[in-house]
Amino acid sequence: MDHWWYRNIVEPGKLPLLVALFSFVLSFLVTRVITRLIRAGRGPFKNVTPGGLHVHHVVPGVILVIIGGFGAVGSGQHSFGSVLSAVIFGLGAGLVLDEFALILHLDDVYWSEQGRKSVEIVVLTAALVALVLGGFLPFGVNDLTSGERHSRGLVVINTATNFFLALIALWKGKARTAFFGTVIPFVALIGAIRLARPGSPYAKRFYANRPRARARAGLRAFRHDRRWAVPRRRLENFIGGTPDEEVRAVGPAPKDPPPGG
Protein backbone atom coordinates (compact mmCIF):
# COMPACT_ATOMS: atom_id res chain seq x y z
CA MET A 1 0.00 0.00 0.00
CA ASP A 2 2.84 2.39 0.88
CA HIS A 3 4.51 1.60 -2.44
CA TRP A 4 1.26 2.25 -4.36
CA TRP A 5 0.70 5.51 -2.48
CA TYR A 6 4.19 6.76 -3.25
CA ARG A 7 4.22 5.67 -6.91
CA ASN A 8 0.76 6.98 -7.82
CA ILE A 9 0.16 9.95 -5.51
CA VAL A 10 3.37 11.29 -3.98
CA GLU A 11 5.91 10.79 -6.78
CA PRO A 12 3.73 12.27 -9.58
CA GLY A 13 2.94 15.24 -7.30
CA LYS A 14 -0.78 14.43 -6.95
CA LEU A 15 -0.96 14.87 -3.18
CA PRO A 16 -2.03 18.56 -3.39
CA LEU A 17 -4.69 17.59 -5.94
CA LEU A 18 -6.01 14.85 -3.65
CA VAL A 19 -6.12 17.22 -0.67
CA ALA A 20 -7.83 19.88 -2.78
CA LEU A 21 -10.48 17.37 -3.87
CA PHE A 22 -11.26 16.36 -0.29
CA SER A 23 -11.47 19.96 0.90
CA PHE A 24 -13.60 20.86 -2.15
CA VAL A 25 -16.16 18.13 -1.47
CA LEU A 26 -16.15 18.84 2.28
CA SER A 27 -16.65 22.56 1.66
CA PHE A 28 -19.62 21.90 -0.61
CA LEU A 29 -21.29 19.43 1.76
CA VAL A 30 -20.85 21.62 4.85
CA THR A 31 -22.10 24.66 2.94
CA ARG A 32 -25.22 22.83 1.75
CA VAL A 33 -25.98 21.63 5.27
CA ILE A 34 -25.62 25.14 6.70
CA THR A 35 -27.72 26.78 3.98
CA ARG A 36 -30.49 24.22 4.46
CA LEU A 37 -30.45 24.84 8.20
CA ILE A 38 -30.69 28.60 7.59
CA ARG A 39 -33.55 28.05 5.17
CA ALA A 40 -35.39 25.91 7.71
CA GLY A 41 -34.72 28.40 10.54
CA ARG A 42 -32.81 25.86 12.61
CA GLY A 43 -29.51 26.08 14.41
CA PRO A 44 -27.34 29.10 15.19
CA PHE A 45 -26.53 29.94 11.58
CA LYS A 46 -27.81 33.12 9.93
CA ASN A 47 -27.28 34.90 6.64
CA VAL A 48 -24.42 37.42 6.65
CA THR A 49 -26.07 40.79 6.04
CA PRO A 50 -23.83 43.66 7.19
CA GLY A 51 -25.66 46.93 6.64
CA GLY A 52 -28.55 45.08 5.05
CA LEU A 53 -26.35 43.72 2.21
CA HIS A 54 -26.61 39.94 1.78
CA VAL A 55 -23.06 38.65 1.33
CA HIS A 56 -23.24 35.37 -0.59
CA HIS A 57 -20.68 32.71 0.25
CA VAL A 58 -19.28 32.98 -3.28
CA VAL A 59 -17.52 36.15 -2.05
CA PRO A 60 -15.28 34.50 0.58
CA GLY A 61 -14.98 31.60 -1.86
CA VAL A 62 -13.40 33.84 -4.50
CA ILE A 63 -11.00 35.25 -1.91
CA LEU A 64 -9.93 31.75 -0.83
CA VAL A 65 -9.51 30.61 -4.44
CA ILE A 66 -7.24 33.59 -5.14
CA ILE A 67 -5.15 32.98 -2.02
CA GLY A 68 -4.88 29.25 -2.68
CA GLY A 69 -4.16 29.70 -6.37
CA PHE A 70 -1.36 32.21 -5.90
CA GLY A 71 -0.02 30.19 -2.98
CA ALA A 72 0.14 27.08 -5.16
CA VAL A 73 1.93 28.97 -7.94
CA GLY A 74 4.53 30.22 -5.48
CA SER A 75 5.08 26.87 -3.75
CA GLY A 76 7.10 23.85 -4.73
CA GLN A 77 5.24 20.81 -5.98
CA HIS A 78 6.23 18.63 -3.03
CA SER A 79 6.31 21.31 -0.31
CA PHE A 80 4.01 21.82 2.66
CA GLY A 81 3.00 25.16 1.18
CA SER A 82 1.54 23.46 -1.88
CA VAL A 83 -0.59 21.17 0.30
CA LEU A 84 -1.80 24.09 2.43
CA SER A 85 -2.58 26.11 -0.69
CA ALA A 86 -4.50 23.13 -2.07
CA VAL A 87 -6.65 23.00 1.06
CA ILE A 88 -7.42 26.72 0.82
CA PHE A 89 -8.13 26.47 -2.90
CA GLY A 90 -10.44 23.46 -2.45
CA LEU A 91 -12.41 25.20 0.28
CA GLY A 92 -12.82 28.29 -1.87
CA ALA A 93 -13.74 26.32 -4.98
CA GLY A 94 -16.47 24.51 -3.05
CA LEU A 95 -17.97 27.84 -1.96
CA VAL A 96 -17.74 29.33 -5.45
CA LEU A 97 -19.20 26.40 -7.38
CA ASP A 98 -21.98 25.96 -4.83
CA GLU A 99 -23.25 29.27 -6.21
CA PHE A 100 -22.31 28.59 -9.81
CA ALA A 101 -25.94 29.16 -10.87
CA LEU A 102 -25.89 32.61 -9.28
CA ILE A 103 -22.80 33.54 -11.32
CA LEU A 104 -24.30 32.05 -14.48
CA HIS A 105 -27.68 33.79 -14.22
CA LEU A 106 -26.46 36.89 -12.34
CA ASP A 107 -29.42 36.39 -10.03
CA ASP A 108 -30.11 34.74 -6.68
CA VAL A 109 -31.47 31.43 -8.00
CA TYR A 110 -29.99 29.28 -5.22
CA TRP A 111 -33.31 27.69 -4.21
CA SER A 112 -34.84 27.61 -7.69
CA GLU A 113 -34.84 25.09 -10.51
CA GLN A 114 -31.94 26.94 -12.13
CA GLY A 115 -29.99 26.53 -8.91
CA ARG A 116 -29.66 22.80 -9.59
CA LYS A 117 -26.90 23.68 -12.06
CA SER A 118 -24.66 24.39 -9.07
CA VAL A 119 -25.06 20.84 -7.77
CA GLU A 120 -24.47 19.36 -11.22
CA ILE A 121 -21.30 21.38 -11.82
CA VAL A 122 -19.94 20.43 -8.38
CA VAL A 123 -20.53 16.72 -8.98
CA LEU A 124 -19.01 17.00 -12.46
CA THR A 125 -15.93 18.80 -11.13
CA ALA A 126 -15.39 16.27 -8.34
CA ALA A 127 -15.77 13.37 -10.78
CA LEU A 128 -13.28 14.81 -13.27
CA VAL A 129 -10.70 15.52 -10.56
CA ALA A 130 -11.17 11.99 -9.20
CA LEU A 131 -10.70 10.69 -12.74
CA VAL A 132 -7.37 12.50 -12.99
CA LEU A 133 -6.32 11.16 -9.60
CA GLY A 134 -7.31 7.59 -10.41
CA GLY A 135 -5.99 7.65 -13.95
CA PHE A 136 -2.57 6.27 -12.97
CA LEU A 137 -1.03 8.25 -15.80
CA PRO A 138 2.65 7.58 -16.56
CA PHE A 139 3.58 11.26 -16.32
CA GLY A 140 5.76 12.19 -13.35
CA VAL A 141 6.54 8.59 -12.32
CA ASN A 142 10.17 7.55 -12.58
CA ASP A 143 11.58 4.20 -13.77
CA LEU A 144 8.39 2.59 -15.01
CA THR A 145 8.68 -1.09 -15.89
CA SER A 146 7.42 -2.26 -19.29
CA GLY A 147 4.39 -3.84 -17.60
CA GLU A 148 3.55 -0.64 -15.72
CA ARG A 149 3.98 1.44 -18.86
CA HIS A 150 1.70 -0.91 -20.80
CA SER A 151 -1.04 -0.98 -18.14
CA ARG A 152 -0.96 2.78 -17.66
CA GLY A 153 -1.02 3.30 -21.40
CA LEU A 154 -4.18 1.20 -21.62
CA VAL A 155 -5.78 3.34 -18.93
CA VAL A 156 -4.94 6.49 -20.90
CA ILE A 157 -6.40 5.01 -24.10
CA ASN A 158 -9.57 3.84 -22.32
CA THR A 159 -10.02 7.23 -20.69
CA ALA A 160 -9.59 9.03 -24.00
CA THR A 161 -12.05 6.66 -25.67
CA ASN A 162 -14.63 7.18 -22.93
CA PHE A 163 -14.22 10.93 -23.25
CA PHE A 164 -14.71 10.76 -27.03
CA LEU A 165 -17.86 8.65 -26.63
CA ALA A 166 -19.09 11.06 -23.96
CA LEU A 167 -18.75 13.91 -26.45
CA ILE A 168 -20.92 11.97 -28.92
CA ALA A 169 -23.51 11.32 -26.19
CA LEU A 170 -23.45 15.03 -25.36
CA TRP A 171 -23.95 15.81 -29.08
CA LYS A 172 -27.03 13.60 -28.93
CA GLY A 173 -28.46 15.65 -26.07
CA LYS A 174 -27.64 13.19 -23.27
CA ALA A 175 -25.77 15.40 -20.85
CA ARG A 176 -26.10 13.15 -17.80
CA THR A 177 -25.11 10.05 -19.78
CA ALA A 178 -22.07 11.92 -21.07
CA PHE A 179 -21.19 13.02 -17.54
CA PHE A 180 -21.36 9.54 -16.03
CA GLY A 181 -19.74 8.07 -19.13
CA THR A 182 -16.51 9.92 -18.50
CA VAL A 183 -15.95 7.92 -15.30
CA ILE A 184 -18.03 4.73 -15.71
CA PRO A 185 -17.13 2.31 -18.54
CA PHE A 186 -19.72 1.50 -21.24
CA VAL A 187 -22.16 4.21 -20.11
CA ALA A 188 -20.91 6.66 -22.72
CA LEU A 189 -20.91 3.87 -25.33
CA ILE A 190 -24.61 3.22 -24.71
CA GLY A 191 -25.40 6.91 -24.98
CA ALA A 192 -23.35 7.23 -28.16
CA ILE A 193 -25.02 4.39 -30.09
CA ARG A 194 -28.65 4.88 -29.02
CA LEU A 195 -31.12 7.32 -30.54
CA ALA A 196 -30.53 11.01 -29.92
CA ARG A 197 -32.92 13.07 -27.84
CA PRO A 198 -35.35 15.32 -29.76
CA GLY A 199 -34.03 18.83 -30.18
CA SER A 200 -30.38 17.83 -29.80
CA PRO A 201 -27.84 19.02 -32.40
CA TYR A 202 -27.50 15.43 -33.65
CA ALA A 203 -31.26 15.03 -34.10
CA LYS A 204 -31.56 18.33 -35.94
CA ARG A 205 -28.74 17.30 -38.25
CA PHE A 206 -29.61 13.67 -39.00
CA TYR A 207 -33.33 13.25 -38.19
CA ALA A 208 -34.60 16.22 -40.20
CA ASN A 209 -35.72 14.01 -43.12
CA ARG A 210 -36.40 10.87 -41.06
CA PRO A 211 -39.87 11.16 -39.49
CA ARG A 212 -39.82 7.59 -38.16
CA ALA A 213 -36.53 8.21 -36.37
CA ARG A 214 -37.88 11.45 -34.90
CA ALA A 215 -41.00 9.64 -33.67
CA ARG A 216 -38.99 6.81 -32.12
CA ALA A 217 -36.62 9.27 -30.48
CA GLY A 218 -39.51 11.26 -29.01
CA LEU A 219 -41.23 8.14 -27.68
CA ARG A 220 -38.02 6.80 -26.14
CA ALA A 221 -37.25 10.15 -24.51
CA PHE A 222 -40.79 10.33 -23.09
CA ARG A 223 -40.61 6.82 -21.61
CA HIS A 224 -37.13 7.44 -20.20
CA ASP A 225 -38.13 10.72 -18.56
CA ARG A 226 -41.31 9.23 -17.12
CA ARG A 227 -39.38 6.31 -15.62
CA TRP A 228 -36.49 8.24 -14.12
CA ALA A 229 -37.90 11.71 -13.40
CA VAL A 230 -39.11 10.96 -9.86
CA PRO A 231 -35.98 9.09 -8.63
CA ARG A 232 -33.73 11.72 -10.20
CA ARG A 233 -35.56 14.62 -8.58
CA ARG A 234 -35.53 12.87 -5.19
CA LEU A 235 -31.77 12.44 -5.43
CA GLU A 236 -31.28 16.06 -6.53
CA ASN A 237 -33.51 17.30 -3.71
CA PHE A 238 -31.60 15.15 -1.22
CA ILE A 239 -28.26 16.62 -2.28
CA GLY A 240 -29.16 20.21 -3.07
CA GLY A 241 -32.48 20.83 -1.32
CA THR A 242 -36.00 21.18 -2.70
CA PRO A 243 -36.50 24.20 -5.00
CA ASP A 244 -38.95 26.88 -3.92
CA GLU A 245 -41.25 26.02 -6.82
CA GLU A 246 -41.79 22.49 -5.50
CA VAL A 247 -42.20 23.68 -1.93
CA ARG A 248 -44.96 26.08 -2.98
CA ALA A 249 -46.60 23.44 -5.16
CA VAL A 250 -46.76 20.92 -2.33
CA GLY A 251 -47.78 23.53 0.25
CA PRO A 252 -47.58 23.19 4.02
CA ALA A 253 -48.32 19.85 5.59
CA PRO A 254 -51.95 19.46 6.72
CA LYS A 255 -52.48 20.04 10.42
CA ASP A 256 -54.04 17.47 12.69
CA PRO A 257 -57.74 18.08 13.39
CA PRO A 258 -58.52 19.58 16.79
CA PRO A 259 -59.55 17.17 19.55
CA GLY A 260 -63.15 16.13 19.22
CA GLY A 261 -63.35 17.51 15.64
All residues at 6 or more sequence positions from 18 whose CB lies less than 8 Å from its CB, including other chains: 9, 133
Residue (of 235, 252, 11, 17) closest to 123 by Cα position: 235
Residue 109 has pLDDT above 90, yes or no: no
Query: Which pLDDT belongs to residue 127?
Result: 78
End-to-end CA distance of the chain: 68
pLDDT at 53 over 70: yes
- Residue 244: pLDDT band (50, 70, 90) is confident
* Residue 259, pLDDT score: 47
> In this model, does residue 258 exceed pLDDT 60?
no
Q: How far apart are CA 225 and CA 104, in angstroms?
A: 26
CB contact set of 124 (below 8 Å; sequence gap of 6+) = 179
pLDDT at 260: 45
pLDDT (average), residues 93-116:
88
Sorted by sequence, the CB contacts under 8 Å of residue 56 that are 6+ apart come out as 99, 102, 108
Q: Give me the pLDDT at residue 229, please.
A: 79
Taken as a whole, the chain contains a residue count of 261
pTM for the model stands at 0.70
Per-residue pLDDT tens digits for 87-99: 999 999 999 999 9
φ/ψ (deg, to 5) at 181: -70, -20
Whole-number pLDDT of residue 15: 85
Query: Given this model, what pLDDT does residue 88 score?
Result: 96
What is the rounded average pLDDT of the residues 229-238? 80
Q: What is the pLDDT of residues 157-206, one digit of tens each?
A: 777 888 899 899 989 998 878 877 877 778 889 999 999 999 899 999 99
What are the residue ranges spanned by the domains of the chain?
1-134
Percent of the chain with pLDDT over 90: 32
Question: Looking at residue 257, what DSSP letter applies?
Answer: P
